[in-house]
Amino acid sequence: MTEQQPSVWQDPTAPVDDRVDDLVARMTLAEKVGQLASIWLVPDGAGEMAPMQGAAESVPSWEDAIAHGLGHLTRPFGSAPVDAEAGLRNIVDQQAQVRAANRFGIPAQVHEECLTGLNAWGATIYPTPVSWAATFDPGLVERMGRQIGDLMARLGIHQGLAPVLDVTRDLRWGRVEETLGEDPYVVGTMAAAYVRGLQASGVAATLKHFLGYSASRAGRNLAPVSMGTRELADVMLPPFEMALRAGARSVMNAYTDIDGIPSAADEALLTTLLRDTLGFEGTVVADYFSVAFLHRLHRMAGDLGEAARLALEAGIDVELPSEDAYGAPLLEEVTSGRLDEKVVDRALRRVLHHKCELGLLDPGWTPVEPAPVDLDPPEARELARELARRSVVLLDNDGTLPLAPGMRVALVGPNADTSDAMLGCYTFPMHVLAHHPGHDPGLAIPTLREVLAGDVDLVHEPGCAVGVPGEAEPADADAVLEAAVAAAAGADVCVAVLGDRAGLFGRGTSGEGCDVADLRLPGRQEELLERLLATGTPVVVVLLVGRPYDLSRQADRLAAALCGFFLGEEGAGAVADVLLGRTEPSGRLPVSFPGSGGVQPATYLGAPLAQRSEVTGVDPTPLWPFGHGLGYGRATWERVEVRSGDTWATDGVAELEVALVNESDREVSEVVQVYLHDRAASVVRPEQRLVAAVRVDLPVGARRLVRVGLHADLTAFTGRDLARIVEPGAVELRVGRSSADHVAVLELDLTGAERYVGPERVLEPELSVEVA
């Protein structure tokens, strides 16, 4: 008897496109739609982990959801505390049911959040993304991405919902902590590094949120975006281009609308720009509930069926986190003739193509076998510590830091003795365990007091609460504040640990939905700081935050200021290392600290008239600028020069050299930053923008030679006809330590013909560091 040959779609040796075409031709409409849907099995009482989570109208039962196949299985580890082996058993059982329920035995694709590490109980918690950016070290971020990806792969997870590529535009926005800062180059290089690391493990990265989400009006979550085409193209888009070039396999839409068109229904954005122009061939997944939001929030669709049609036509392939519109409402749109089945097939091909690449269509596919997995191994903790150390920013210092041995230290402030101070809103304890009071976090997260206690003669007083909106002030609040003031008065130095507590949708001072009206420190923290300063004891402020705050009224009276952006499980140790001088401060600000909270939104990327001028009384000059960061030692800049001459062809490369030496008595770390200034352009340009940055570590006495190659494509901008051009003319390369500290200004002339450039243009500089 002749052995039956497998169908083309089951043949791992056949071309992927042929396998997908064969399978699509065999599927019924219901089976096709099933692959575009998902389900989130949220345990009872789990609490709100996504906007308007409880508003879904037509989420089916598990049995109905898998009846014809299932596209995605949502967050099996990231919805409630479950240990690794139990979670794997659940996935094995669920995948068996999914495969048994559909004719083709196709498993679901499993996705999880992974913004600060895998969002699972007991998994390593790395610093939040704005801290990654503060390292100015993409190689370190890539190593972290690989660690995260390896863990996810061991748990049978196929896709991670990170990184965030939204460029910070307004510090009042609650999700600043999730971003990689206010500069497109830094955002793009860090995001691309994360993508390379994660996907090296076979786990798909998801770029979010496409496009313009962080520019919502007044920093309010989901508010409309007021942004012109040029700003969108030159500020918001380049990071996505860089991460797509790194190979990102999935993209997530933004919740917001731009000029009245929500991203979830914007075909020009999700198809014409993303696919036709940028060449993206992967899947576009919906941000949670955003398809239904076209009906419920934007009021653009009359019902869920119309919302499904608009989203699918625009280019959203998979509805997350659960089937709502991409189920019966979508089926009705097709059977009624309002939506061509070819549009369903278009999305289906992308979904199946991805599943085929993941091996999910292969006959021999099996889920990962349940077994104990160490979710927080020593090597991951050490990497988390290295990232945290690298990201701590010394903002100011009069010589009080590092703390001298034998000093009596008053450690005060609401963030001095709580692990919450280290955790962003997408960490498992703040995102999930917040709905499980008293539950063990599953891993060690030391507090700053605990870490310092063995090394410092200290007294601790909280001083006040963080000041989360809606939380009642304790009856003894005044006495608690007075105790902190008394402790400071009796100490040699006061270390005031202030800042944020992350949360979701108003349940924190930073995080998704935790937007603020101004940038004063939350609650009574500014009052506490003023009282501490009035004691006359030197005050060192340690900010453990998700966003910069306005310290302009106190900055000139501080002995020192240190900043850590939600530093993760090893953050306390990293801060202690810097305070005690065991580690050289080396972080640089990826977001500016405001000179006054009233001047937001403002970033360093402002045009000439966005700078300080005589035509307005409002001064936007930052207190601590983008790129700023001090050390205990300081590198000497011996030489900065252009090696390629003072002319720069519009299709050529400008070659720079920077010679550094460490003449101090301790190791130092410098970040060489190169900013482009266009003296005159055909459209208004930012006063300056970063085009290159490289970190240089210098042992005592060491010399290093930094070489920077800048292709003229890096000067490109969107011209008057909305096409991207390289324009001849006079430019400056401002080379230095920050956006406000230029060691040298190099004048060059871009010569040659004006050039139109597209997505294929050079996006990054050539960088090298050599021993001199």
* DSSP-assigned letters across all residues of 377-405: -HHHHHHHHHHHHHH-EEEEESS-PSPPT
Cβ neighbours of 661 (radius 10 Å):
17
**What sign does the dihedral 127-130-134-137 (CA atoms) show?**
positive
- Rounded Cα gap, residues 716 and 501, in angstroms: 40
- What is the average per-residue pLDDT within 398-410? 97
Question: Rounded mean pLDDT of the chain?
Answer: 96
pLDDT, residue 22, reads: 98
Write down the number of H helices and E strands in the chain.
Answer: 20, 27
Give the phi and the psi of residue 742 in degrees, each rounded to 5. -95, 120
Residue 54 pLDDT exceeds 80: no
Tokens standing for residue 224: 């409309």
In this prediction, what percent of the chain has a pLDDT beyond 90? 94
Whether omega for the bond prior to residue 269 falls within 30 degrees of 0, making it cis, is no
DSSP 118: -
Which residues lie below 8 Å from residue 644, measured CB to CB, with a gap of 6+? 652, 653, 654, 655
- What is the average per-residue pLDDT within 261-281? 98
**What sign does the dihedral 12-15-16-18 (CA atoms) show?**
negative
pLDDT, residue 615, reads: 85
Of 613 and 521, the structure prediction assigns the larger pLDDT to 521
- Rounded Cα gap, residues 243 and 190, in angstroms: 9
Sheet of 250-253: strands edge to edge? Answer: 38-40, 72-74, 109-112, 159-160, 204-210, 250-253, 283-285
3-state secondary structure of 205: strand
Listed in sequence order, the DSSP H helices in 561-644 are: 571-579
Per-residue pLDDT tens digits for 141-171: 999 999 999 999 999 999 999 999 999 999 9
Sheet of 539-545: strands edge to edge? Answer: 393-397, 560-565, 539-545, 493-499, 408-412, 457-461
| Residue 393 pLDDT level (bands cut at 50, 70, 90) | very high
Residue 1 pLDDT exceeds 60: no
| Residue 617 pLDDT level (bands cut at 50, 70, 90) | confident
Closest CA relative to residue 286, chosen from 256, 309, 320, 262:
320
| Residue 50 pLDDT level (bands cut at 50, 70, 90) | confident
Report, in this order, helix, strand and coil percent for the chain, each rounded to 5: 30, 20, 45
| Residue 600 pLDDT level (bands cut at 50, 70, 90) | low
- Rounded Cα gap, residues 322 and 288, in angstroms: 8
- What is the average per-residue pLDDT within 411-421? 98
Residue 45 pLDDT exceeds 80: no
pLDDT, residue 56, reads: 65
Sheet of 724-726: strands edge to edge? Answer: 717-718, 724-726, 755-756
pLDDT, residue 2, reads: 46
Residue with tokens 């997350």: 320
Give the phi and the psi of residue 718 in degrees, each rounded to 5. -85, 115
Residue 246 pLDDT exceeds 80: yes
| Residue 60 pLDDT level (bands cut at 50, 70, 90) | confident
**What sign does the dihedral 294-297-299-302 (CA atoms) show?**
positive
Q: Exposed/middle/buried for 406, CB within 10 Å: 0-12, 13-18, 19+?
A: exposed
